[in-house]
């Protein structure tokens, strides 16, 4: 009775041990298969997550997303003008220097030129011929009224006076095309608009040829911001879109005024221009700045996540998504940086809970798991 109700006979114990060992051997491959099926998963409890300092958040889809781009300050194309010499000659006077303010019509320089002397002489000759033609016309009108001179002579006098007037206007127009008069053999070069002298390429006494650039005058109270957009981002930017411009010690807001409908052939990017107020003179043409452009819409499903949420595993970008038992590494396609965020173009729906801070801890745990799996 003791052997039946008490201790199990020894042969039966060997049978039970053998069955247990066989069951364990069959279960081990099943566990490995399950590990393959859940590759990229990391089991972590709530306490372990808190201890690792991992913070959980959600991606941001649409809304007021921004992208940061390098940009360059440029002069407003309508506010900068080249001042050139219409005729060749020698510079005999300079009345404005770099950085000085000028008003429209102010004299910038005076050029002494033989061509100017010829043009002025032509004006004087045309004026004299017109005076003679007018006197002849008056005499013929008087004689015709007295029935002394025929009508044919009166008509000829009228024609000569009209031709003389045309010749004088032509000579004056040719002189005006060279600039305002500065004397018999001199031409004054004047400012075409109000602003500042931003470039000067001549010195006193220099001989210049016709069409030589002498000055550049710019009204820099408004400047342009030149930047280039990715094609996928250009569709989310419109004229009037706000842009935040930053440089060391300075910050200002601008607005998009132009988006090119054509990609740049070299860079394959979309050129854009923003208008920036510069009445304070704090922005300089040619200066490199950083532009933060606000994006509208949802970006065709694009999401933004903190840059600290993206890790690189085996050459792939991944984000760790919270699961019921821990996290799972989800491959994603990332785009441009947007401040301290990254644009995620695919891989996330936007409603996931993801590891935003200390996600590198999960990357390390994932590496340990893969190493033990290989062992």
All structural domains of the chain with their residue ranges: 39-62+302-374, 66-78+220-296, 90-109+189-218, 114-184
Question: Can you tell me which residue has the tokens 């947007």?
Answer: 338
Q: Are 75 and 273 in contact (CB under 8 A)?
A: no
172 pLDDT band, cuts 50/70/90, is: confident
Domain range 39-62+302-374, CATH class: mainly beta
DSSP string, 41-83: EEE--HHHHHHTT-EEE--EESSS-EEEEEEEEEE-TTTEEEE
Identical fold, 39-62+302-374 and 66-78+220-296: no
Domain range 66-78+220-296, CATH class: mainly beta
Identify how many contiguous H helices and E strands the chain contains and give both numbers.
7, 25
End-to-end CA distance of the chain: 51
| pLDDT per residue as tens digits for the range 80-113 | 889 988 888 899 999 988 888 899 989 999 988 8
Tokens representing residue 65 in the block = 């997303």
| d(C-alpha 126, C-alpha 173), whole Å | 12
Q: Which helix (H) or strand (E) holds 16?
A: helix 10-37
Q: Give this prediction's pTM.
A: 0.49
User: For residues 58-76, b (16+ Cβ closer than 10 Å) or e, as one string?
Assistant: ebbbbeebbbbbebebbbb
| pLDDT per residue as tens digits for the range 19-34 | 443 444 443 433 333 3
Compare 13 and 321 and report the one with higher pLDDT. 321
Q: For residue 160, give Cα distances in angstroms to 140, 157, 166, 172.
A: 12, 5, 10, 18
User: For residues 338-357, b (16+ Cβ closer than 10 Å) or e, as one string?
Assistant: beebbbbbebbebebebbbe
- What's the mean per-residue pLDDT of the chain? 81
Q: Are strands 222-229 and 242-247 parallel, antiparallel or unpaired?
A: unpaired
> What's domain 114-184's architecture?
Orthogonal Bundle (1.10)
Section 348-373 average pLDDT? 83
């Amino acid at each position: 009775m003791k052997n039946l109700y008490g201790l199990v006979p020894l042969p039966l114990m060997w049978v039970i041990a053998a069955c247990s060992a066989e069951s364990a051997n069959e279960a081990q491959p099943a566990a490995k298969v399950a590990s393959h099926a859940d590759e990229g998963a990391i089991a972590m409890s709530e306490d372990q997550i808190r201890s690792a300092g991992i913070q959980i958040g959600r991606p941001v889809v649409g809304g007021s997303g921004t992208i940061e781009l390098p940009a360059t300050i440029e002069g407003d194309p309508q506010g900068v003008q080249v001042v050139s010499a219409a005729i060749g000659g020698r510079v005999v006077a300079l009345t404005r220097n770099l950085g000085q303010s000028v008003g429209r019509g102010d004299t910038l320089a005076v050029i002494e030129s033989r061509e100017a002397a010829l043009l002025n002489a032509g004006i004087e000759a045309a004026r004299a011929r017109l005076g003679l033609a007018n006197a002849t016309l008056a005499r013929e009108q008087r004689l015709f009224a007295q029935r002394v001179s025929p009508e044919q002579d009166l008509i000829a006098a009228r024609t000569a006076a009209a031709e003389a007037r045309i010749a004088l206007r032509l000579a004056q127009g040719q002189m005006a095309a060279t600039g305002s008069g500065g004397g018999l053999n001199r031409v004054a070069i004047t400012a075409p608009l109000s602003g500042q002298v931003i470039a000067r390429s001549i010195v006193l006494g220099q001989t210049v040829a016709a069409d030589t650039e002498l000055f550049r005058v710019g009204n820099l109270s408004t400047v342009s911001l030149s930047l280039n957009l990715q094609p996928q981002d250009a569709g989310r930017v419109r004229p009037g879109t706000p842009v935040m411009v930053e440089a060391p010690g300075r910050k200002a807001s601008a607005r998009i005024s132009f988006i090119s409908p054509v990609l740049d052939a070299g860079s394959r990017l979309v050129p854009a221009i923003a208008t920036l107020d510069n009445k304070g003179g704090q922005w300089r043409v040619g200066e490199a700045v950083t532009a933060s452009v606000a994006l509208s819409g949802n970006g065709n499903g694009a999401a933004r996540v903190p840059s600290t949420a993206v890790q690189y595993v085996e050459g792939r970008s991944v984000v760790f998504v919270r699961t019921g038992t821990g996290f799972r590494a989800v491959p994603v396609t990332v785009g441009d940086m947007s401040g301290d965020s990254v644009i995620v173009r695919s891989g996330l729906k936007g409603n996931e809970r993801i590891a935003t801070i200390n996600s590198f801890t999960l990357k390390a745990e994932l590496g340990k798991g893969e190493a033990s799996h290989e062992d």
